[in-house]
A and B are shown apart, each in its own frame.
Chain A
Amino acid sequence: MYNPGSSQRIVFLGIITSVVIIFLIRLFYVQVINESYSVSATNNVLRYITDYPARGMIYDRKGKIVAFNQAVYDLMVIPKQVKEIDTLEFCKLLDISKESFIDKMKKATSFSRMKASTFEKQISAESFATFQEKLYKFQGFYVQPRTLRKYPNNTAAHVLGYIGEVNDELIAKNPYYRIGDYIGISGIEQSYELELRGRRGVRIVMVDVFNREKGSYKGGIYDTIAIAGQNLVATLDADLQSYGEQLLQNKIGSVVAIEPQTGEILAMISSPSYDPNLLVGRVRSKNYGYLLRDPNKPLFNRAMQAYYPPGSTFKLTNALAALQEGIININTSFPHSFVVGSKSVKCHSHPPVALEGAIQYSCNPYFCNTFRSFVDNRKYGSSENGYRLWREYQMSFGVGKKIGVDMPHELKGLIPSVEFYDKYYGKGHWKASTIYSLGIGQGELGINPMQMANIICIIANKGYYYTPHVIKQIGKKPNTTRNLGERHYTKVSAENFTIIQDGMQRVVEAGTARIARFDSLVICGKTGTAQNPHGKDHSLFVAFAPRNNPKIAIAVMVENAGFGATWAAPIASLMMEKYLKDSVKRHDLEERMLKGYLLPLQNKSLENPALKVNDSTQVKPKNKKDSSVALLTNKKKKK
């Protein structure tokens, strides 16, 4: 028997042993020493799925939905996990071109190979349904449900505001937000962002190699639950709001209506407006550009940001201050003119009047005289001191300061300080006769319609106001985020308001605003015709009704429209009728208002037939909506 002995056996066993030892060393390194494989395994299998809570809905005061959410889907991609896929089929399903596919992939890859980024935003529910069936074929892609904001009444764009994606600056400032998150950018959406957004949740799920979810990681102990946003109940009356918007169509102007007994804003209109749905979703930035270029500035919220001279409405606060200081009383009368040097302020022809009559006829010399009597009064020592006190009175009516509306971008307006005039004219070089026009609401005054409406609330309440606000309920509880129940008193006592109210009642019943009368309601109002250097006078009207139990205080401003009684008073009156009586009986007046076309500028950039002059002859209550047709709507293009 030939047997070459044991050396071969030893060599063979030696080879086996060495290989096994090498393997064991390698395994020890890979399994015990090197930690990176554990990380890779985790990356493979774990997906951090953000649960975006539904943004709270917004209802109007009657329970009508004015903002809700529509489900859409963001397609996410993790470039590292994308394997060879049928690009053609993929593009077809998404209705995109191959170039755009490549482009988007490149973008996603340059952001991060390992992290998910958005490949395609806001796929509609219909496209998503077909796409989802095929999703397993496209490794590395998954779908993130999101919601899209919808404003079903196409109304109150400025009040509701809009939402948009957060930018880098915001992310740096507020760590809650991440790329792709939405945030309220203006209006209620902005000021109640915290309440509306809720709290984002993160679920950690395990996925298999085909990216199919396989259940929660460790039974979900690391998950955070999303908290849904709270629904808000707005103080707005959506019907009144959209009625007002119609009345203001093809006019530039603003309406603010407030319930004086609560400070609840019933309507806040800035015209021209726009369909709030234009600023939703993928088409937002494009439409935003259109709106921004529109010379009539539809994005500008005139109700809170425009500075108007208050005109004759300021005669009321002027008189109230003088009454309180005892400078005038109900029987005071002044000469029928007001002469300053070579200039004189004259009045419309009316009989000589005392205070109430002066209000009724909006007598300019009367209130210039009142102003002078106040400011130059000896008891204050100097005109500066007199003016300072007068200004304090005015500011107690909520002018020249932010009144704290629960909306962003409120401007405080302008009522010049003593220092301002000292600087302008030189100290001691001015007195009442220099700045008398303030007494009739002209001159260096800037008051926004919100403040005007608030003044009317004060008059209606005889001396105080509640901070005007647009949200009354958060979830099921009253809105307590702001101090809404507090009465803000003026420096004027209640009995003096009665005199002013008498005058205002006479304005409607026998004065400049007889057009505003309707039904048998007792309405107190005051017209204004504010001169402005840019063109025709602004038409202005403020009112409240009913006098004894004020339900609505309203300020209407129509730019470059002439007398207050021509446009502003009828619009205010119609809106009060609509709100108090629920329907409008004065169809002729309504018709005339709806037809009125007072836009100074055609919007050529939009090339929008709905905004052309010719169309103003036709009544188009839905005009504003039509204008949106020319813009992109958020529907997905059909193949």
Chain B
Amino acid sequence: MRKQNSIFENIDWVLVVFYLVLVLLGWINIYAAVYNEEHKNIFDLTQNYGRQMLWIGTSLVIGLAILVIDGKFYAAFSFPIYIVTMGILLVVLVIARDVQGARSWIEIGSFKLQPSEFAKFATNMALAKYLSALGIRMEDMKTKITAGLIILFPMALVLLQNDTGSALVFIAFIFVLYREGLSQNVLIFGFLAGVLFILALMVPNKILIGIIGGLGFVAYLLMRKTRNNIIVILIITALCTGIVFSVDYAFNEILQTHQRERIEVLLGKRSDPKGAGYNVNQSLIAIGSGGLTGKGFLQGTQTKYDFVPEQSTDFIFCTVGEEWGFVGTAFVLILFTLLLYRIVFIAERQRSTYTRIYAYGVASILFFHLMINVGMAIGLAPVIGIPLPFFSYGGSSLWGFTVLLFVLIKLDSYRMYILR
């Protein structure tokens, strides 16, 4: 192993440039989203865009600090960081005040931090650390259970904070597990379960059960040659039936009213453009009215006059859609896609399993955020309040994503010095 000559040696500048471009675009769009005549200065600290500038500045400092720290530190301290973060999550549960129904903020004076944004990073590290250890094989049941626990523990804590959106992000780690050898059946079954969930809500249960039974019977007629096949068909049919029955219960008993309403709106079962569907409706109006090339910077009426709630945070994508049109939204989406491709590319060039797993974790988390955030803005996903990475206003999330990405940059820059 050699010592690194400069902290910028072997840095993947592509990632850094992507990061800077996204953060800058985010800042401009936050400015447009919050813009008002009285505070025209983008550096005005009383406004979200002024504060975002502070967050960007501090994020760059954090990024630099991460690059300065020795590359070995992260792998070595993965578990301690994970444990400390879990501790903080527990503390938050106890001391946090209720903010819009969630208890997820730590307040120190006027300074507020959302530890769940860092829990993703810590979990990613711990998962990478655990899975990269010698002798760990994904096929082992023990591995699956331990990895599952590493993911589910923070997920449960965040869920207890009533921050459902952030909790759901942990589902993204399924891609990491899949990459490390988890059977593809998990993805297929997950997809199937999702489809069944939607169908169960859309189609009357009796009809759905009938269809499942019918399909099972057809499969039985086609594949009854071996006993094994018959058993598999039976199990799948039974599972599907079970899911269908449990969906109603889960939907009505476990989900909270607003969550239920949002799903109903999404599925078109409920038309409530003033209530549960207001955000999405206004968001679609904003994006849709942008047209091909948009209304122009600061010209979005939906944006300027606050028709879309939460527009600088969860619905920042509307601003892009309204003021920059399809050209703008496509540009941002492609930018994100290229970023994800780049991360996957970086992951696959690692000799270190830890770094590879970590990189996949980063890609999975970013992808999940992108999918849900943009999906809800255009009415393809339920309204789950999670930010668009690097774009949305918010210190915690920007810091969290910065840490997530810059640790990857640091680890990647270290790839030459690691044998395994």
State the A residues within 8 Å of B (CB).
1-2, 4, 6, 8-9, 11-13, 15-17, 19-20, 22-24, 26-28, 30-32, 34, 36-38, 40-42, 44-45, 80, 83, 206-210, 214
Contacts and interface: CB of A to CB of B under 8 A. Distances in A.
B307 A23 contact: no
Nearest to B364: A12
Contacts of B291: 31-32, 38
6 contacts: A11-B178, A12-B344, A16-B367, A37-B285, A208-B307, A210-B306
- Counting chain B CB atoms within 10 Å of each CB, the highest count among A11, A20, A24 belongs to A20
B23 to A, nearest CB: 20
B305 interface: yes
B301 A41 contact: yes
Contact of B326 (A9, A16, A31): A31
Contacts, number: 122
Interface stretch (B75-83, B249-257, B371-379): B371-379
Contacts of B187: 11
Interface in B116-174: 137
B374 A4 contact: no
Given A11-B178, A16-B340, A37-B289, A206 B301 contact: yes
Contact of B330 (A24, A206, A207): A24
B374 to A, nearest CB: 6
B68 interface: no
B380 A22 contact: yes
A37 B274 CA distance: 16
B321 A32 contact: no
A41 B201 CA distance: 31
Interface in B81-102: none
A4 B360 CA distance: 14
Contacts of A41: 285-286, 288-289, 301-302, 322
B316 to A, nearest CB: 15
A20 B175 contact: no
Interface string B338-355: 001100100010010100
A4 B287 contact: no
Nearest to B302: A41
A142 to B, nearest CB: 14
Given A24-B333, A207-B305, A40 B348 contact: no
Nearest to B179: A8
B175 A1 contact: no
A30 to B, nearest CB: 4
Contact of A11 (B184, B337, B353): B184
Contacts of B360: 12
Given A23-B378, A27-B326, 11 more contacts: A1-B351, A1-B420, A12-B344, A20-B337, A31-B290, A31-B321, A40-B288, A40-B289, A41-B288, A41-B301, A45-B301
B340 A27 contact: no
A41 B353 CA distance: 51
Main secondary structure of the interface of A (DSSP, over half): helix
Nearest to A30: B288
A583 B348 CA distance: 111
A208 B420 contact: no
B179 A2 contact: no
Main secondary structure of the interface of B (DSSP, over half): helix
B288 A37 contact: yes
Contacts of A24: 330, 333
Nearest to A7: B184
B325 interface: yes
Contact of A31 (B181, B292, B341): B292
B181 A2 contact: yes
Given A9-B348, A30-B287, A209 B292 contact: no
A28 B329 CA distance: 9
Contact of B287 (A6, A19, A31): A31
Contacts of B286: 41
Nearest to B184: A11
Contacts of A36: 288
Interface in B254-297: 274, 282, 284-292
Contacts of A16: 337, 340-341, 367
A22 to B, nearest CB: 7
A34 B285 CA distance: 11
B12 interface: no
B307 A209 contact: yes
B181 A44 contact: no
Nearest to A39: B289
Top 3 A-B pairs ranked by shortest CB distance? A37-B288, A208-B305, A41-B289
Contact of A13 (B274, B288, B292, B344): B344
Nearest to A207: B305
Interface residues of B, number: 51
A413 B375 CA distance: 80
B301 A44 contact: yes
A555 B156 CA distance: 99
A30 B281 CA distance: 12
Given A41-B285, A44-B302, A209-B305, A27 B329 contact: yes
A433 B158 CA distance: 115
Interface in B20-34: none
Contacts of A11: 178, 184, 187
Contacts of B137: 2
A438 to B, nearest CB: 76
A143 to B, nearest CB: 19
B51 interface: no
Contacts of B289: 37-38, 40-42
B310 interface: no
Nearest to B340: A16
Contacts of B282: 44
B415 interface: no
Given A27-B330, A214-B304, A4 B179 contact: yes
Nearest to A17: B337
A13 B341 CA distance: 7
Given A12-B344, A19-B371, A20-B337, A45 B302 contact: yes
Contacts of B371: 19
A23 B302 contact: no
- Counting chain A CB atoms within 10 Å of each CB, the highest count among B181, B286, B301 belongs to B301
Nearest to A211: B305
A17 B181 CA distance: 21
A206 B295 CA distance: 15
A399 to B, nearest CB: 67
A204 B284 CA distance: 24
Nearest to A19: B371
Contacts of B351: 1
A31 B332 CA distance: 15
Contacts of B374: 23
Nearest to B322: A41
B333 A20 contact: yes
Nearest to A43: B285
Given A1-B420, A2-B137, A23-B378, A31 B325 contact: yes
Contact of A208 (B285, B306, B326): B306
Contacts of A20: 333-334, 336-337
Contacts of B290: 31
A37 B287 contact: yes
A188 B299 CA distance: 49
Contacts of B305: 44-45, 206-209, 214
A22 B337 CA distance: 13
Given A38-B291, A40-B285, A32 B326 contact: yes
Contacts of A206: 301, 305
A246 B231 CA distance: 109
Contacts of A13: 340-341, 344
A19 B366 CA distance: 13
A116 to B, nearest CB: 17
Given A4-B181, A209-B306, A23 B375 contact: yes
Contacts of A2: 137, 181, 353
Interface in B370-420: 371, 374-375, 378-380, 420
B337 A31 contact: no
Nearest to B294: A31
